[in-house]
Amino acid sequence: MIDFKQTIATQISKQTDIPENEVYEWIEVPTDEKLGDFAFPCFRLAKIMKKAPQMIAEELKQKLTFENGMMKQINVVGGYLNFYIADEMYVKNVLTEIAESQENYGSSTIGKGKNIVIDYSSPNIAKPFHIGHLRSTVIGNALYKTHQFLGYHCIGINYLGDWGTQFGKLIEGYKRWGEEYNIEENPIDEITKIYVRINELAKEDETVLEACRDNFKKLEEGDEFCTKVWKHFRELSLKEFQRVYDLLNVQFDSWNGEAFYSDKMGEVVDILEKQNLLVESEGAKIVDLTEKNLTPCMIKKSNGSTTYETRDLAAILYRARTYDFDKALYLTSYEQILHFRQIFEVAKYLELDEKYTNGLVHVPFGMVQLKTGKMSTREGNIIKLEELLNEAISRVKAVIAEKNPELENQDEIAKKVGIGAVIFNDLYNSRIKDEVFDWDIMLNFNGETGPYMQYIYVRTKSLLEKAGYIPTIQEVDFTKLQDETSLKVIKLLYQFENIIQQSAEKYEPYIIARYLIDVAQAFSSFYNENKIICEEHSTQDARLYLTYATGLVLKTGAGLLGIEMPDKM
């Protein structure tokens, strides 16, 4: 496909001796379509050429030449040079590329030969999988799929919270009250009750808290009873988690959690000690990061047990050696920004190649909160993700029963629409924004939502089904798609590859989500303004092909977000 921006950059570079890549970065896409498809700000050349920006723009306009009738017109507005691509060139360029690429339209090989590790979801064993975990799971899944589409080799890691002091607490609670709870029948709920109860007791009695810490130390040392309880809780939890992942259609390449690194932390301690970086502080061992304007990073607690930080550092060593990553993304809430700043700083001392330490990236996101405030497993005020997803499916079923009771495969469609609504709602805003959980917002089926996007996709399918065929690209008369609403859709489809690359570069799935709404709304306008199945055959062929192309991009884009499209609604 012709990169119009690159072609413009090449021509301007020839006339100014400014490197093409710099010119390319300076070229803008005007927010007002009346100001052209692309604009070049000549203000940047004023100092170099020692002329007024408008004069530079006028001179460039006279010198620039474009082949094959690519440019409809070039205008000077103030210090800007505005470029208008010929309508037929736009239409032909986009639809021909879609015809050749099909489901790979928008993909790229920019990530070829590069490995990217994505650490996401990471629920805690023996705790409910609640809506707070939704963000890490769906953002991480979208980044995985997006980078994969751009040619990267992705390794998705579910870094389970299956180690740490909380297990000392659970073991202590289980010792005291295990027989009072029906753990086998309803594992997570019953284990959560134990966890809440032992936390309350530990608040009141310091000796209980010490017993909990001692249990974890025993677990690290391989105590038979503690290990048996831990393994049992882990197995029960994974079964519960898998049901949620099945609903979300999320898979991982590795389930190595914190416990996996329990025998790999010694090397981290040894490396840091060898470099005289470990300092004793109140019995604990820390790395002093004062010079980096950071608080100390604790490597060993005063009782000799390891920390979350030590395990993260061991994981960095292991992942660098095992996956030879170019980037390693860590998806967690912004509450852990300081933690990762510390970890990435200490990682520089682990005798790793700079390639790995430079490739460490924390991708923070906002919290999910209830209307009543922050969720807490300790306090027991959480909303389980499985319940939320099933409720979403149930509500969609009710809508189908009311509006389209004869619809086939209702369960399958309700699942795609319900789960899609939840995922899209989470991904529609910048990840860093906090999200207040609200049923009415989550399952609003009007406006800028997942179900709306899915509905427009279904409309493209039904139009093609009604016509009974998809024309070949050779049958498309490009001049039939030069009205305003057709061109609006075409120009949006042209942006797809760039949108995907922006989303990957900024680690922001919302860029794709909002783009898909723009495409859906543009197609809706196109549909309302143009009779697609009509008497004039060449016009029908052109409009049908644009309908097909729109549906293909909507489905591909939704797939990158982890959303499945129904064929009917």
Task: Kindly give the pairing relationship between strand 327-333 and strand 115-119.
Answer: parallel
Q: Is the pTM of this model over 0.85?
A: yes
The Cα 257–Cα 233 span in angstroms is: 14
Question: CATH 3.30.1360.70 in the chain, residues?
Answer: 4-85
The Cα 532–Cα 470 span in angstroms is: 12
Q: Is 94 left (phi over 0), alpha (psi -120 to 50) or beta?
A: alpha
- In this structure, the chain runs to a length of 569
Q: Is 524 left (phi over 0), alpha (psi -120 to 50) or beta?
A: alpha
The Cα 529–Cα 47 span in angstroms is: 48
Predicted local confidence at residue 439, as pLDDT: 66
Predicted local confidence at residue 78, as pLDDT: 87
CATH architecture of 385-429+439-560: Orthogonal Bundle (1.10)
Q: Which pair of structure tokens corresponds to residue 366?
A: 């906002």
The Cα 316–Cα 271 span in angstroms is: 14
Query: CB-based contacts of 437: which residues, under 8 Å, 6+ apart?
Result: 131, 368, 369, 370, 371, 383
Cα 379–Cα 382–Cα 384 angle in degrees, nearest 5: 145
Query: CB-based contacts of 540: which residues, under 8 Å, 6+ apart?
Result: 467, 532, 533, 534
Residue 429: what residue type?
A: N
Query: Tokens 């939890």 map to which residue?
Result: 237
Q: Which pair of structure tokens corresponds to residue 230?
A: 């831990």
Closest CA to 33 of 429, 490, 480: 490
Residue 546 in contact with residue 554, Cβ under 8 Å? no
Cα 435–Cα 377–Cα 439 angle in degrees, nearest 5: 35
Query: Tokens 């914190």 map to which residue?
Result: 258
Query: CB-based contacts of 152: which residues, under 8 Å, 6+ apart?
Result: 111, 112, 114, 115, 116
Q: pLDDT tens string for the chain (569 positions)?
A: 899 999 999 999 999 989 999 999 999 999 888 899 999 999 988 888 888 999 999 999 999 998 888 999 999 998 999 999 999 999 999 999 999 999 999 999 999 999 999 999 999 888 888 888 899 999 999 999 999 999 999 999 999 999 888 899 999 999 999 989 988 888 888 998 999 899 999 999 999 999 999 998 899 889 999 999 999 999 999 998 999 999 999 999 999 999 999 899 999 999 999 999 999 998 999 999 999 999 999 999 888 888 899 999 999 999 999 999 999 999 999 999 999 999 999 999 999 999 999 999 999 999 877 666 555 545 555 678 898 899 899 999 998 999 899 999 999 999 999 999 999 999 999 999 887 767 676 666 778 899 999 999 999 999 999 999 999 999 999 999 999 999 999 999 999 999 999 999 999 999 999 999 999 999 999 999 999 999 899 999 999 999 999 999 999 999 999 999 999 98
Residue 360 phi/psi, 5° resolution? Answer: -80, 125
User: In CATH, what number does 115-369 get?
Assistant: 3.40.50.620
Domain 4-85 annotated CATH 3.40.50.970 = no
Question: CATH 1.10.730.10 in the chain, residues?
Answer: 385-429+439-560
Question: CATH 3.40.50.620 in the chain, residues?
Answer: 115-369
Beta bridge partners of 360: 328
The Cα 33–Cα 39 span in angstroms is: 11
Residue 472 in contact with residue 395, Cβ under 8 Å? no
Predicted local confidence at residue 165, as pLDDT: 82
Residue 435: what residue type?
A: E
The Cα 410–Cα 397 span in angstroms is: 7
Q: Which pair of structure tokens corresponds to residue 142?
A: 């979208």
